[in-house]
Amino acid sequence: KTPVVLEIVMVEENFILNEVVINPKDNPANEIIRNAIKNKKENSAKTARYTADFYSRGIFRVKNLPKTILGQKLDFFDEVIDSTRSGILYLSETVSKVTFQKPDKMKEEILASKVSGNDNGFSFNDASSANFDFYENYLEFDTNVVSPIADNAFNYYKYQFEGSFFTENRQQINKIKIIPRRETEPVMSGYIYIVDDTYAIYAVDVSFTGKQIQNPALNTLTLKQNFSYNSTSRIWAKNTQTLDFDAGMLGVNISGRFTYVFSNFAFPEKFEKKTFTAEVIRFEENANKKDDVFWNTIRPVPLTSEETTDYIKKDALQEKKKSKVYLDSIDAKKNKFRLMDVLNGYSYSNSYKKWSINYNGPLLNTSFNTVQGYNTSIGLSYFKRNEDK
């Protein structure tokens, strides 16, 4: 593919520290957080109902994968990892349209789905897994994690004011450091950015450990959110979110990232009665058949070089595994006939043409009862597969 030169201009972020009078009884961060808690019901209500376009990408990596675990050979991923037994285990993307109403009503239409190395696969990334709302008292993980602007947040956190800056619309943003009072509780560390006049959330950058949410496999999880301002509706709405994690158990070390982008928001005053039904997710026809032209046009976040390489590598591997030469060689081993197959049973497959014939031998189909004595049977069956249907 033709190399693409991407020029990025970094915008300088200036923090302003106003004149501060030191008073141990008057922490400016505490006052900002109190106002954020006081106004969170109003700010949350502004995004209580919306429709939006949604994009997500998920990636799982493994590093230094052991060859055996508890004496069992671990060779499932040998074709996709490198000589250091490291590499991408899973990479996928989703494009959808989302309709949402707080607290938990959601409808999602998957328009496109892509899984690296599987041209017939469906990604498991969806909008419901991206619904982390800091205006609620708790964020749902393995256990409920206390939001830094929960009603009782001061019982769990201390806060430190670290300055402020202005957006291009001249809105002042306050940067507040979040400090857990006790590290053993389900709490988070990091920063929350609060808009000065409305006390809405501008951004969040927090992390917590597996120990804090009672998940022994998880080392660290980092959650970042950014909100954009719509000058017409005067609403701050979440437009990007990333979820990074690293975990490990029994010598298997996995890390990953989920990237979510929301766009084209609409905030209706109400939805029709039949908007939300038992159908939560539906897939548009041929959602998993979109070509590279579609994906290169629609991605809001370009692929990294690592992700691009993985798609190329796994697409080539998939083509190899779909070839007649490869499938015939696999069948040649599986289709070998042995004398005991007359009694046990036998299967003959043509994987390239996707059919198989199965013979059920009498040995495994013999039974006994006191009325009829011994009973035995044999059988013959034919299967034809069509993954698309």
The Cα 196–Cα 35 span in angstroms is 9
Spatial separation of the C-alpha atoms in residues 234 and 317, rounded to whole Å: 50
Alpha helices in 23-100 (DSSP H): 28-46
Q: What is the pLDDT of residue 13?
A: 65
What pLDDT sits at residue 3?
67
* Contact (Cβ atoms closer than 8 angstroms) between residue 117 and residue 287: no
How high is the pLDDT of residue 224?
Answer: 97
Output the pLDDT for position 10. Answer: 74
Residue-level pLDDT at 236: 93
Q: Please name the residues in contact with 136: beta carbons below 8 A apart, sequence gap of 6 or more.
A: 44, 103, 147, 150
Give me the sign of the Cα torsion angle 350, 354, 357, 363: positive
pLDDT at 76: 66
Percentage helix, strand, coil, to 5, in the chain?
Answer: 20, 40, 40
pLDDT computed for residue 122 by the predictor? 77
CA-angle at 173, arms to 167 and 176, nearest 5°: 145
Residues with Cβ < 8 Å from 364, sequence gap 6 or more? Answer: 344, 345
Confidence (pLDDT) at 371: 74
Residues of the chain below pLDDT 70:
1-4, 11-26, 74, 76, 78, 388-389
